[in-house]
Amino acid sequence: MISGNRQAKHVKAITMASLATTEDITEDMKATTISPPVNLPEENPPKSSDTVVASDVSKTATKTKTKTNAPPPQQQKKNSVVVKVGMVGDAQIGKTSLMVKYIEGKFDEDYIQTLGVNFMEKSITIKNTEITFSIWDLGGQREFISMLPLVCNDAVATLFMFDLSHKKTLSSCKEWYRQVRGMNRNSFAFLIGTKYDLFVTLSEKEQAAITKQARKFAKAMKAPLIFSSASHSINIQKIFKIVLSKVFNLKCNIPCVSTMGDPILEH
């Protein structure tokens, strides 16, 4: 938990040229492999087909790169940008678990419930640009709703999260969306289902009903829909690659998954 007077950094202006690359995103921390108790597909290391790459660079940028008096790459000043991401949703749906899994590559079933706001950061590098994800996790109890502005103000992306094994938490996303949009109308919305490992234990009828409603909400929110599991490392890295692609309007080559029963990834 942090004090309310700590402010997130504003996202700095950045040109598309500084992000133009065909290389994979390099992570500062590697995820820890956790043996799943059930037979579920674990998230594979980034492949060439799962990269986030920039769109075409302007001719002006191309000319600039070819100047003979340009300093050697090792002497170029590294650009830096902060991307603030807010996480909201009901209590005990796995918000903190997802954040810790992404930041530290760890999963612990015995996390203490978030009281107030949790905050973590992680930096990744794309070519000559260091991007820091500043992730703000709001406790899901209603008594912490007064701290919502701390999480949502200045956020460029908001993850609206729900427990795939509890349909009621999905219904709550409508109210969370209404609250957030009252404070920040410009952040990119993402609808994230957690605990996919429990979702697959439900009947096909229950899975179909939850998936149908989630797609309906995602369409209304104009948000990507992603099913994930922190305990089984499913779609955790991909969530933040897609966030990056939306925030900077980059081309995303991560394939969509739409088959009922599979970990949905529609963006």
Return the domain boundaries, the chain: 17-32+79-266
Whether 75 has a pLDDT exceeding 60, the answer reads no
The mean of the pLDDT values for the chain is: 78
Using pLDDT thresholds of 50, 70 and 90, give the confidence band for residue 108.
confident
Q: Indicate the SS3 state at residue 242.
A: helix
pLDDT over 90 for what percent of the chain? 59
Residue-wise over 220-233: b if at least 16 C-beta within 10 A, else e?
ebebbbbbbbbbbb
Q: Give the helix/strand (H/E) hosting 97.
A: helix 95-104
Residue carrying the six token digits 């103000």: 153
Q: Which residue has the higher pLDDT, 264 or 8?
A: 264
pTM as predicted? 0.74
Q: What is the pLDDT of residue 69?
A: 54
Q: What is the pLDDT of residue 72?
A: 53
Pairing verdict, β 157-163 and 79-88: parallel
Q: Which residue has the higher pLDDT, 133 or 54?
A: 133
Kindly report which listed range (31-35, 41-45, 53-57, 197-201) carries the lowest average pLDDT score: 31-35
Using pLDDT thresholds of 50, 70 and 90, give the confidence band for residue 127.
confident
Task: Residue 195: name the closest of 221, 170, 213 by CA.
Answer: 170
Q: What is the pLDDT of residue 138?
A: 92
- Domain range 17-32+79-266, its CATH number among 3.40.50.300, 3.30.1360.230, 2.60.120.560, 3.40.830.10: 3.40.50.300
Q: What is the pLDDT of residue 50?
A: 54
